[in-house]
Every structure is written in structure tokens, then in C-alpha cells.
């Protein structure tokens, strides 16, 4: 009997209210290494597969009209990894940027990079600058790619910039508010993510969007990032749409 094989509820587009999508979804792209290891492949193969999944999911987010997709691609802590793994991730990033330069105008996709780009090599920084320049002319879905990103580093960087403005006399410490502080963080002008998705089975932030996720809804899944599908995204959005977001208030 066919029905006996229906183990898992198959979340499809039907379960999602596309009129009530979050404006901003953030994703921690995790599980690439384990995906590869389970197949007896080098970890780098997992990053290659993960990059393909990113292309699929980013394209789909654009198609459904999501305003912002933010992905955690490389953290300030990921430099601790073996050299060849870091090199592969940077190479995949370069490939993606070259590809994006050819397609972002056609697809009306803006790219923004969150993190400290100063440590990237000249070639990568040049590509990042070119993507930023094109993005400035576009209006469509914005994909924010976090590279050499750390939530704590971001907050410290913002504090330094604010202190410098105080010394320069353009603002006073007493004038600092949460709204003003937002102007100094990497993601200034980007609405906070309503939904944070972490595939890969870990239930932690790993230094991602510490400021921005103050009221985000978290969705964790054991699915490894290279196996993440549109239906997994539907599942996450459907779960988000069931949540009761109170922001410290009481249920209406």
C-alpha cells in the first residue's frame, strides 16, 4: 500500500502562505564537510556541493519575491581550518562572484557583502567592489553574503566607528540609540531577519548576526546544507508562519 510509505509530511509550496513571507531569511550554510565525509569524499567536495545548493536556493528566493536572503559563508573563526579547505572556499567564492557579475543585472539581484573584506586577496576584493557597483544600480532581491564575518567583530567594529564619530564631534555618546547604532553595523539599512535557518544539526549561532537576531525565529534541521531543498525551505517558512511572535508583549 502506497500510503504506508508516507513517513514524513511533504511540505510543499502548498503549506506556505506566499502572501505572508518574511522579508528577510538568514541561513547558516552548515554541514558541507559531513556531507562529503559520509560519502568518503574530501571536505572540499562538500563545499562544492554546498555552493550548488546555494545557487538553487538563492534563485528560488528571488523567484518567490523574498526581499533579503543572508547567508553565512565564512566566519571569522573559519580561518582555523586546513589551508586547502580555506583555499577551496575562496576559490568557490571567486567563481560565484565571476558568475554573479554576468547574471545579476539580468536577474536584478543585488549582492552585498557583510564582514571584514580587508583580509581578502586583491582579486576577490576587486570582484566584491564590482558586484557592489552593479548592485547600486539595481532594485531587486538582495543577497547578503557574510564572509570573514563574526557577530562580535561586527559589534566591536561598529563601536569603534561610533567612537571615532564622537571624537570627530559629529555625534555625542548621549545621542546613541539602538536605531543610531544600526547605522554602524555591517548590515545597516537591511531589516532584521525574521527567520534564521540552520541546517546541519547544530543548534547554535556560531557568532552569526548576534545583534540582528534579537527577535528572529530560529529553525533548526538535521538536513545537511548540500541536501537542503526548496521543500526544506518551505518547511522552514511554514514553521515560521505558525509561530506566535510576541516581542515581549502578550498574545493578541
For Mg ion, the closer of residues 30 and 154 by Cβ is 30
Largest CA distance in the chain: 75
Distance between alpha carbon 231 and the CA centroid of its chain, in Å?
Answer: 18
Estimate the share of the chain in helix, then strand, then coil, as percent rounded to the nearest 5.
Answer: 50, 10, 40
183 among known catalytic residues: no
Nearest CA to 207 out of 146, 162, 158 is that of 146
**Least separation in angstroms between CB 106 and ligand IPE:** 28
| Cα–Cα dist 189/197, whole Å | 21
Nearest CA to 27 out of 112, 110, 143 is that of 143
Where does this chain touch Mg ion (CB under 5 A) — which range of 27-35, 47-55, 117-125, 161-169?
A: 27-35
For Mg ion, the closer of residues 185 and 224 by Cβ is 224
Provide φ and ψ at 88, rounded to 5°: -65, -45
Does position 232 bind Mg ion by CB under 5 A? no
For Mg ion, the closer of residues 30 and 194 by Cβ is 30
**Adjacent-strand bridge partners of 142:** 68, 110
For Mg ion, the closer of residues 30 and 217 by Cβ is 30
148 among known catalytic residues: no
List the single partner that 151 binds among Mg ion, ligand IPE, none, CB under 5 to 8 Å by kind: none
Choosing from 24, 30, 47, 217, the residue that interacts with Mg ion (CB under 5 A) is 30
Which residues are near ligand IPE by CB under 6 A?
28-34, 72-75, 78, 89, 200, 202, 204, 206
Nearest CA to 29 out of 11, 53, 12, 45 is that of 53
Selecting among 17, 32, 78, 122, the annotated active-site residue is 78
Q: Nearest residue to Mg ion, using CB?
A: 30
> Where in the sequence numbering do the catalytic residues fall?
30, 78
Amino acid at each position: 500500500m502506497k500510503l504506508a510509505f508516507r513517513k514524513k509530511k511533504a511540505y510543499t509550496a502548498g503549506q506556505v502562505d506566499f502572501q505572508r513571507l518574511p522579508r528577510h531569511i538568514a541561513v547558516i550554510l552548515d554541514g558541507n564537510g559531513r556531507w562529503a565525509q559520509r560519502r568518503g569524499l574530501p571536505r572540499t567536495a562538500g563545499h562544492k556541493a554546498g555552493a550548488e545548493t546555494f545557487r538553487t536556493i538563492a534563485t528560488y528566493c528571488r523567484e518567490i519575491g523574498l526581499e533579503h536572503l543572508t547567508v553565512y559563508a565564512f566566519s571569522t573563526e573559519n580561518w582555523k581550518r586546513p589551508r586547502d579547505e580555506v583555499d577551496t572556499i575562496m576559490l568557490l567564492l571567486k567563481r560565484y562572484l565571476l558568475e554573479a557579475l554576468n547574471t545579476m543585472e539580468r536577474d536584478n539581484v543585488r549582492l552585498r557583502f557583510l564582514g571584514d573584506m580587508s583580509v581578502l586577496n586583491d582579486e576577490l576584493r576587486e570582484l566584491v567592489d564590482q558586484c557592489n557597483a552593479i548592485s547600486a544600480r539595481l532594485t531587486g532581491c538582495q543577497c547578503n553574503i557574510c564572509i570573514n564575518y563574526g557577530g562580535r567583530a561586527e559589534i566591536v567594529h561598529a563601536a569603534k566607528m561610533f567612537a571615532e564619530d564622537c571624537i570627530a564631534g559629529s555625534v555625542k555618546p548621549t545621542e546613541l540609540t539602538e536605531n543610531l547604532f544600526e547605522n554602524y553595523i555591517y548590515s545597516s539599512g537591511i531589516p532584521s531577519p525574521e527567520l534564521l535557518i540552520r541546517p546541519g544539526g547544530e543548534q547554535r549561532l556560531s557568532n552569526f548576526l548576534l545583534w540582528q537576531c534579537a527577535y528572529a525565529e530560529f529553525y533548526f534541521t538535521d538536513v545537511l546544507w548540500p541536501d537542503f531543498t526548496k521543500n526544506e525551505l518551505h518547511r522552514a517558512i511554514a514553521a515560521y508562519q505558525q509561530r506566535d511572535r510576541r516581542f515581549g508583549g502578550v498574545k493578541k
